[in-house]
Structure 1
């Protein structure tokens, strides 16, 4: 656990004002106590020498399914903890466990496991609420989601789910479905985030959804409608709507595969770092070197191949999940998206913190905020992850 007081010295500290050198970051308990030129050191302070590396806010991943050979759909405390401990090794200090379409009984099991795992999680990335992805999706845009569970919003169902657990932070759905606007209003009335996903919506349908609270695009471009034609007329889809609605936030799987370099550049050019959150959307193979895996529950999920840095359906007709980790997202945005370091980091820290309503406590290195901190080198190799003031990962090469 280390001492409750820590200082980080000799680092290039990433702050809202830019990168500062020659400063000391002082941690007391779970919070950042100060940032300045004083040493703050005494015999009761643990001294961490950053050795010229970047000192960054911890990475916040709003969309994670699994990693390290486990998936949240396994529905066990052990799976939750393994995923958290896997992603903290790559700089993620806070994440939202994300579900797939499923039976209601399975969803309740996952929510129960979250509650217990949140108590036991002392070695991994912090949990910041469950993200329900589905089951209210457009069947034609299901991607690798199991069509057997896809359905329209049912008030009797979603009111029970939201009453069952306070740990739900976000619900993603297709806004064009029958009953989806009423569903959206109810989700927002419960104080939850609402996002559009796996959608065949037209521009007008997305706009109607946005007006009731669908203000985040889940894995933008993936499983999402674009321009179509009807009676010879072109009709804008969800992608165009997300670009045209300035206040719409988007999350992107910046692995260079789900969203290739030209689209990374386009999204960045139009939406900018204040409206983009980088997410892994990682499935259980993330953080491993396996060639075959399972999407979803380990016993009932979909068998997939892992190749070319992504999971695919066995017939290779579609992607079946990301195997990315947060460090890869930053690396890809900088190298392929040609985004400056500070703005790439913002899309992995401050912007997702703001989207999740956590910017008062996370997302930047400022006094009073949670001591969620990551050290990495020029190649974005993570050497140290601190969660709430506690060192939860240290590479073998860091001493």
Structure 2
């Protein structure tokens, strides 16, 4: 059992509501032992001098498909581990692996692969459970999801997929589809978060969806309805509904490409940091150079092109996924949307933790919580990443100084 103590000093400690200058974060084993405004005398600890950098809770990415040229749909545990080990370098200490629309067998295989990989994941971002994105989507809002697999909710199918697993923690669907409200009830009964995604719903349908458990909006603005006309009359869409439903949480791809700065500012203004989570929605090309790549599995995924810091369909008619990493999301909210650092970090830590119901152990620097910590500079360049009290990444040009305890 890990009983090592780590003492982090001389930094700016980010809490959900303030920044503590020059305090101390002390961990023991895999838990935070104390957070203080002054020095905590302790012997036998590894001491990290943050050198004035930020000391933040570990980032939590609740919607991610891949990275490091691996995808969760590849069908092997090694790919799961590769994605986790790629994103840990960018400050993500916990993540929710996400699928794509596929056939039933592929959904089952993705879940079973997740369950095989989970206990092996010691060097990457911790897995919090799996997020199934699709296949119950509106065809006109499918985006880059493969149209061969888009279909309406099937009780026999989803009951079968979930029958022998507790690993699924979220399932995204279009709530206006036939059978989608019953699907929401079923998920809620199982303790799984129903989320609104790839949808043409209008406000009245969103009210029904809300009452059947759809309390979260997947990648707001992307693949969902805004104001629309039906028989000459205007109707509010999912975007407006997410703003009108005060308690609905949302997530945004803050890569600076999917949403321009004005929309990042708008979401922040209406939903605030307590209802907005930042997500990468990253596909396999995250952490890789520009060029050709594949969205989804290597076996039957879609060819895409990585350019302008985003994945595009080969004809360049629409985006086909993000290649963002968590540090970039926080940086963009500060630099592009003029959001205070503490709020930007909250959207990458405390808020996603609350959405996924893990805030009892993650999402903030507080006594008793998991020792998941990230050090970064003013430009959100990652210096050091600690997961569960273990230093899993230090940048080649790390500014912080690490002092090992005396052996005397």
Q: TM-score, normalised by structure 2?
A: 0.96
- Are the equivalent residues in 1 in contact too, given 2:254–2:333 (CA < 8 A)? yes
- Are the equivalent residues in 2 in contact too, given 1:11–1:52 (CA < 8 A)? yes
- Provide the residue aligned with 2:293 in structure 1: 293
- Provide the residue aligned with 1:114 in structure 2: 114
Shift of 1:356: 0.6
Q: Secondary structure at the match of 2:206?
A: helix
- Provide the residue aligned with 1:372 in structure 2: 372
Q: Secondary structure at the match of 1:73?
A: coil
- Are the equivalent residues in 2 in contact too, given 1:34–1:366 (CA < 8 A)? yes
Shift of 1:271: 0.8
- Provide the residue aligned with 2:327 in structure 1: 327
Q: Secondary structure at the match of 1:328?
A: helix
The one-character-per-residue Cα deviations of 1:44-67 (angstroms, maximum 9, x if unpaired) are: 211111111100000000000000
Residue 154 (str. 1) matches residue 187 (str. 2)? no
Number of aligned residue pairs: 398
- Provide the residue aligned with 2:42 in structure 1: 41
- Provide the residue aligned with 1:178 in structure 2: 178
CA separation in 2, counterparts of 1:75 and 1:383?
32
Q: Secondary structure at the match of 2:359?
A: coil
CA separation in 1, counterparts of 2:17 and 2:344?
15
Shift of 1:3: 6.5
- Provide the residue aligned with 1:218 in structure 2: 218
CA separation in 1, counterparts of 2:40 and 2:311?
47
Correspondence list, 1:193-342, <5 A:
193-342=193-342
CA separation in 2, counterparts of 1:233 and 1:167?
43
Q: Secondary structure at the match of 1:89?
A: helix
Q: Secondary structure at the match of 2:95?
A: strand
Shift of 1:2: 8.6
Shift of 1:16: 3.2
Shift of 1:112: 1.3
CA separation in 2, counterparts of 1:296 and 1:193?
23
Q: Secondary structure at the match of 2:241?
A: helix
The one-character-per-residue Cα deviations of 1:108-156 (angstroms, maximum 9, x if unpaired) are: 1111111121101010000000000000000000000001001100000
CA separation in 2, counterparts of 1:103 and 1:16?
41
- Provide the residue aligned with 1:361 in structure 2: 361
- Are the equivalent residues in 1 in contact too, given 2:16–2:343 (CA < 8 A)? no
- Provide the residue aligned with 1:98 in structure 2: 98
- Are the equivalent residues in 2 in contact too, given 1:200–1:238 (CA < 8 A)? yes
CA separation in 1, counterparts of 2:22 and 2:310?
40
Shift of 1:231: 2.0
Q: Secondary structure at the match of 2:157?
A: helix
Q: Secondary structure at the match of 1:365?
A: coil
How large is the RMSD of aligned CA atoms in angstroms?
1.2
Unaligned runs of 5+ in 1: none
- Are the equivalent residues in 1 in contact too, given 2:11–2:50 (CA < 8 A)? yes
Shift of 1:360: 0.9
Unaligned runs of 5+ in 2: 402-408
Q: TM-score, normalised by structure 1?
A: 0.98
CA separation in 1, counterparts of 2:39 and 2:9?
10
CA separation in 2, counterparts of 1:154 and 1:162?
12
The one-character-per-residue Cα deviations of 1:228-261 (angstroms, maximum 9, x if unpaired) are: 1122211111111111111111000001111111
- Provide the residue aligned with 1:389 in structure 2: 389
Shift of 1:17: 4.0
The one-character-per-residue Cα deviations of 1:150-189 (angstroms, maximum 9, x if unpaired) are: 1100000111111121110100000000000000000000
CA separation in 1, counterparts of 2:324 and 2:2?
30
- Are the equivalent residues in 2 in contact too, given 1:41–1:47 (CA < 8 A)? no
CA separation in 2, counterparts of 1:2 and 1:375?
21
Residue 74 (str. 1) matches residue 64 (str. 2)? no
Shift of 1:39: 2.8
Shift of 1:299: 2.1
Residue 30 (str. 1) matches residue 37 (str. 2)? no
